[in-house]
Chain A
Amino acid sequence: MTCADAQAELTAFLDGELTGDAAAAVNQHLSACPACARTGDALAAVSHLADAWQVQGADIQSAVLTQIALEDMASEMARLRAEVETLRAEVAALRRPVSAPGLLFPYAPPISAPLHIV
């Protein structure tokens, strides 16, 4: 293995991503090559330094579930609004004035003879 090959694999080697022959080849090269071993030490030092930057996770479960509940409510309100609009349109249609007199009392029999009071 050349130095270039070893250095290309160093990060994966340090991350434990190499196995079997690939890992053994890098390991063997590092044992025999002080320059590459120094590079490996420097990369490991960078990893160690990077640990200084710590951030915390957070509990956001209730916030997420509240948002979902709000979205559900908004969706239900939109559905109800649409339903109300439909009903409003139906009521308006029923209230529409009908101009043809015959249609007002379609059941009224035609008066063709004098009425008899029994």
Chain B
Amino acid sequence: MHEDDTLMQQAAAGEVRAFGRIVARHQIRLVRVAARLLSDPELAQDAAQEAFLRLWHMRHRYQPSGRLSALLLRITRNVCLDWAGRKETEEWTEEREAAQAHDDPAAQAEGGALADAVGRAVGSLPEPSRTVFILSHYEGQSYADIAAALDCPLGTVASRKRLAVEALRRKLAHWVEGENTK
């Protein structure tokens, strides 16, 4: 049996520590996915926490399937969509921090602007293409895993990913051209 399924069974039997291990195994990814879906790192932590609480409430109904990860991604996405209206002004604080890895100040400015541009471009993708792009590109999920998480056919995932990349190509045309001229 998959380790997640074993832990869920233990959690259903009342072992909170087992559930804590599930949280530890998935929290980083869920917070990251929520941060990109909400474009808000702080709200993302609350959203991921809410996703785990929803899983805790349904622990007695969980059927072992080896797909807890897909279920958690689906719950997280639903929470984020529910909360999308609560999104406040865009801040992109952490993206700017990540961009500061460049030594050259000019590169820092350019990297921060690029991170902003990418964040805004991805954030403006229509759902569910945005989720597909985030799970595929940033989380390295296979199309099959994404199809399981979103409960849709494999071909739908492929077409949504293609639409997302084509949309990003248009939105980031300035940067793509800049890249080509270097």
Contact A45 B180 (CB under 8 A): yes
Q: Mark A11-29, 1 if CB is under 8 A from B, else 0.
A: 1100101000000000000
Tell me, yes or no, whether B115 is within 8 Å of chain A by CB.
yes
Contact A60 B165 (CB under 8 A): no
Contact A64 B98 (CB under 8 A): no
Tell me, yes or no, whether A68 is within 8 Å of chain B by CB.
yes
Q: What distance in Å separates the Cβ of B30 from its nearest Cβ neighbour in chain A?
A: 8
Tell me, yes or no, whether A86 is within 8 Å of chain B by CB.
no
Contact partners of B19 in chain A: CB under 8 A: 65, 68
Tell me, yes or no, whether B161 is within 8 Å of chain A by CB.
yes
Tell me, yes or no, whether A57 is within 8 Å of chain B by CB.
yes
A interface bracket (residues with beta carbon within 8 Å of B): 20 to 34
Tell me, yes or no, whether A50 is within 8 Å of chain B by CB.
yes
Binds A, one of B2-10, B20-28, B62-70, B78-86: B20-28
Most buried by B among A8, A12, A58, A69: A58
Complex Cα gap A60–B47 (Å): 11
B interface bracket (residues with beta carbon within 8 Å of A): 35 or more
Contact A55 B180 (CB under 8 A): no
Tell me, yes or no, whether B114 is within 8 Å of chain A by CB.
yes
Contact partners of B41 in chain A: CB under 8 A: 55-56, 58
Q: What distance in Å separates the Cβ of B6 from its nearest Cβ neighbour in chain A?
A: 18
Contact A57 B165 (CB under 8 A): no
Tell me, yes or no, whether B45 is within 8 Å of chain A by CB.
yes
Contact A61 B122 (CB under 8 A): no
Contact A63 B49 (CB under 8 A): yes
Known: A12-B162, A17-B143, A43-B169; 15 extra A-B contacts, CB below 8 A, are: A8-B162, A10-B162, A15-B143, A42-B176, A47-B165, A49-B168, A50-B122, A50-B168, A52-B118, A53-B115, A56-B41, A57-B29, A59-B28, A64-B49, A65-B16
Tell me, yes or no, whether A112 is within 8 Å of chain B by CB.
no
Q: Point out the residue from A10, A12, A46, A53 that lies within 8 Å of B176, measured CB to CB.
A: A46
Tell me, yes or no, whether A96 is within 8 Å of chain B by CB.
no
Contact B143 A57 (CB under 8 A): no
Contact B114 A52 (CB under 8 A): yes
Contact B111 A52 (CB under 8 A): yes
Tell me, yes or no, whether A99 is within 8 Å of chain B by CB.
no
Closest Cβ neighbor of B112 among chain A residues: A52
Most buried by A among B118, B142, B165, B172: B165
Complex Cα gap A10–B165 (Å): 10
Contact partners of B118 in chain A: CB under 8 A: 49-50, 52-53
